[in-house]
Structure 1
Amino acid sequence: MSDERSVEHSATAHQHPQKRSNWLNRLGHLLKGEPNDRDELADIITEAGERDIIDEDTQDMLEGVFEISELRVRDIMIPRSQMNTLPSDACINDVIPKIIESGNSRYPVIHEDKDHIEGILLVKDLLKYIVTRENAPVTDIIRPAVVVPESKRVDKLLKEFQQCRYHMAIVVDEYGGVSGLVTIEDILELIVGEIEDEYDDEDNAPANITEINSSLYHVLSLTPIADFNEKFGTSFTNDEYDTIGGLVLHAFGHLPAKGDSISIENFDFRVLSADKRSIHLLQLTVNPREEE
């Protein structure tokens, strides 16, 4: 009886390493093979997660890498309306209160308006001036601003962030106007999840509904139906679902993938971010209502 248990234990002990080895062999063969089939590679990663060959965090990170290769900077940027900026005619003592209040580490410095970026102020560059009590103009301290187009691929920008050792870029539209900014943290969070720091709390959480322009919005899927109704003057019911993500999911009839679109009344919803479990972020286009 003891020998039978020993044989059974031995077989069980070798089963998982063999399974892992087979999966790694398949992955290695795929990477070396001529076909560059992204869907097949994604299926192998999903299968590895389902069979516990890789843990859930690793699977999410690998899927995040795939996601950023398909996104453009416009999909993840902080919109112009939410940019925290400093005026170029200010001195250090003038901007310290705002820096303390917002808690950011980098600020675009503007002249007249947000279309005229003079440079980027790094908070760490203020230290020596604070120690010496020198009230210098912020323009004496700023560093050059890096400018990228809205259409730039996110994975390409991440590579530039790493190679050139900068952490923030100003985003411009096709006409050269400033449409927002993007940081390396925004990209990394797509891969590893939310990166919280000592300034992240509920009071500083991003708005559920962010206006990009008069007809375009970004909407977090967890936005309560009541808040959406109040913002857009709608009367969607929350009897079956409490959030706008639930409303959109119900309209699709299945869990949509990133990039999928659907129209509900005079609203066009496009999925900007989602995983195999839920929707995270929606792009909302408000169309004019047809006259009755």
Structure 2
Amino acid sequence: MRLESRAGSDKRSLFERVVEFLSPGPDSRAELIETLADAEQREVIAPDSRLMLEGVIRMADMIAGDVMVAAPRMDLLDIDAPYDELLALVIETGHSRFPVYEGQRDSIIGILLAKDLLKLQRAPGLNVRTLLRPAVFVPESKNLNELLRDFRSNRNHLAIVIDEFGNTAGLITIEDVLEEIVGEIEDEFDEIQSDEGIYTLADGTQRVAGDADIAVVNHALGVELPDDAFDTIGGLVAHEHGRVPRRGETVAIGGLSFTVLLTRGGAVRWFKVAPTAREPGA
């Protein structure tokens, strides 16, 4: 009985080795992604699981500069601003954390939590500087995998991204990193999306999905963007720009400016669209 058991065990082991030899595993990330797609098609994994796994794989090649909010679009607080002005910006943006600068916007001196600002109501004589928390600075080239580990180990949710010259390039949050894995994270401040991926924001501009059809955008905004070579807005903007634009970058096409609000998986998820400013005398 023991001999038969061992023989059966050896046969199974040999069979597994033969299968592995005839059907080797993926040798590259592209093949691994294809394997995941095949697993989804055969209903081995759910579609959401495949997307998350692909996000983890792609994130290994991404750096902070790929997903950061560019410096011109950062919502900052001036350390010398009056309390009412600070409170108004906190309420308007709905963020929970704010970089604070002194003098020039590039001079970040700390991070202020929105909840800490309320302490000034109970103690008006309190100095805002005493409420600041240390700012974390990371290079633009920092790998997202490493950054996520740092966020988790340091219990920090926001970092200031600096370029090779030490200047402020932007900021990145733990939510920005996680969205590369799980997709866009909606919160209570996010608008409800329309079926066509286009809707009007409070300031009169439009929020347009990167995969929105050009024909639909033309009809909704009353423009005539070319749709003979590309089907989606994201494809058209990437072509005109020469590459997929990063978060915070703006591309002007056909009298409209397309500012990237969110990227995911190497593509633009959302644009903020507004008419381009006309030059004086035009």
**TM-score bracket, shorter-length normalisation:** 0.5 to 0.7
How many pairs were matched up? 223
Match of 1:63 among 46, 54, 57: 54
| Conserved? CA contact 2:214–2:225, under 8 Å | no
Runs of 4+ in structure 1 displaced over 6 angstroms?
33-36, 204-209, 225-228
In the alignment, does 2:269 pair up with 1:269? no
In the alignment, does 2:114 pair up with 1:126? no
Match of 1:196 among 186, 190, 193: 186
CA drift at 1:240: 7.1
In structure 2, what is the Cα distance between the partners aligned to 1:188 and 1:177?
25
CA drift at 1:184: 0.5
In structure 2, what is the Cα distance between the partners aligned to 1:247 and 1:159?
36
Matched residue, 2:80: 89
Amino acid at match of 2:242: D
Per-residue Cα deviation, 1:183-222 (whole angstroms, up to 9, x for no partner): 001111111111111111263799769xxxxxxxxx9454
Higher relative CO (Cα under 8 Å, sequence separation at least 6) belongs to 2
Structure 1: gaps (5+ residues): 1-24, 210-218, 229-233, 249-261, 283-292
CA drift at 1:53: 1.0
Per-residue Cα deviation, 1:141-200 (whole angstroms, up to 9, x for no partner): 110100011111111111110111100000111001101100001111111111111111
Matched residue, 2:32: 41
| Conserved? CA contact 2:136–2:159, under 8 Å | yes
Matched residue, 1:110: 101
Matched residue, 1:79: 70
Structure 2: gaps (5+ residues): 1-15, 192-199, 247-262, 271-282
Per-residue Cα deviation, 1:56-80 (whole angstroms, up to 9, x for no partner): 1111111111121111111100011
Match of 1:170 among 143, 157, 160: 160
Amino acid at match of 1:160: D
The 1:181–1:37 alpha-carbon spacing in structure 2 relative to 1, beyond 3 Å, is: same
TM-score (structure 1 length as normaliser) = 0.63
In structure 2, what is the Cα distance between the partners aligned to 1:269 and 1:226?
23
In the alignment, does 2:200 pair up with 1:238? no
In the alignment, does 2:126 pair up with 1:143? no
Q: 1:202-281 residue pairs with structure 2 within 5 A?
A: 203=201, 220=210, 222=212, 236-238=225-227, 243-247=232-236, 267-270=241-244, 279-280=267-268
CA drift at 1:47: 1.9
In structure 1, what is the Cα distance between the partners aligned to 2:31 and 2:231?
36
In structure 1, what is the Cα distance between the partners aligned to 2:244 and 2:229?
21
| Conserved? CA contact 1:108–1:119, under 8 Å | yes
Matched residue, 2:12: none
In structure 2, what is the Cα distance between the partners aligned to 1:135 and 1:93?
14
Amino acid at match of 1:81: P
Match of 2:146 among 149, 156, 161: 156
The 1:186–1:196 alpha-carbon spacing in structure 2 relative to 1, beyond 3 Å, is: same
TM-score (structure 2 length as normaliser) = 0.66
Matched residue, 2:250: none
| Conserved? CA contact 2:26–2:35, under 8 Å | no
In structure 2, what is the Cα distance between the partners aligned to 1:68 and 1:118?
30
In structure 1, what is the Cα distance between the partners aligned to 2:227 and 2:137?
43
In structure 2, what is the Cα distance between the partners aligned to 1:100 and 1:58?
36
CA drift at 1:225: 7.8
